[in-house]
Amino acid sequence: MPEHYLPSDIERTSFSIIRQELKEKGKTFPEMEASVVFRCIHATADFDYADLLHFSDGAISDAVHVLQGGCTIVTDTNMALAGISKVALKKLGCEAVCYMAEPAIAKRAEDQGITRAASAMDHAKETCPTGIRAVGNAPTALFRLADQIEQGLRPALIIAAPVGFVNVVESKNRILTVCRQYAIPIITVVGRKGGSTVCTAICNALLYEAAGMTDPSARGWN
């Protein structure tokens, strides 16, 4: 029979298990990085994320500061958008958006012969140039972001977590190189793994840190 029924109990117990298993593997993390690593493992049941997550210096503290001042998170999938905590967004005065399904984005992509993900990043450059970019699916979004940064865009943070086999590793390497060159904060998942679920987990870990909601009771959970 299940031992835990309430969402808050399930999350706390899951995090306790994750912490213990990481300890047994000899893996420890600074507190703020741990919150991201734990939440990614919690979302996937995959302990590989303890090794795959890369943080630029100060990326988490920079992101928390920006979120506490209110900012826009631009995602590349509506799946990621759906999972981002609306409670935390509201408390911080932030918003999350995804432009992928908008007809104007599709039209621009068709006219220019580019993907909708690249078109969406172009639109985001015009509407919220300093916001957070959270990419969990489309390598072409990362390639576009790299070009935009070289042209002067300065987003508050890049989350680079596409999943798959085609251009995924290449796009992550490209954005990581460019972010290092221009001192753009970045959190990336090295290699082929990632996805909208992981992207959402990273966003929520940052939001909960910024909003003081790391414990589920602070989110109104039983």
List the catalytic residues: 42
Whole-angstrom CA distances from 13 to 19, 31, 148, 152 are 10, 18, 42, 45
- Read off φ and ψ for residue 97, nearest 5 degrees: -140, 155
Q: How far, in Å, CA of 32 to CA of 57, rounded?
A: 12
Q: What backbone phi and psi angles, to 5 degrees, belong to 157? A: -165, 145
Name the CA dihedral angle for 118, 102, 202, 219, rounded to a multiple of 10 degrees.
170
Enumerate residues 6+ apart whose C-beta is below 8 A from 208.
Answer: 35, 85, 88, 214, 218, 219
d(CA 195, CA 38): 16
Q: Look-up: residue for tokens 């490209």?
A: 174
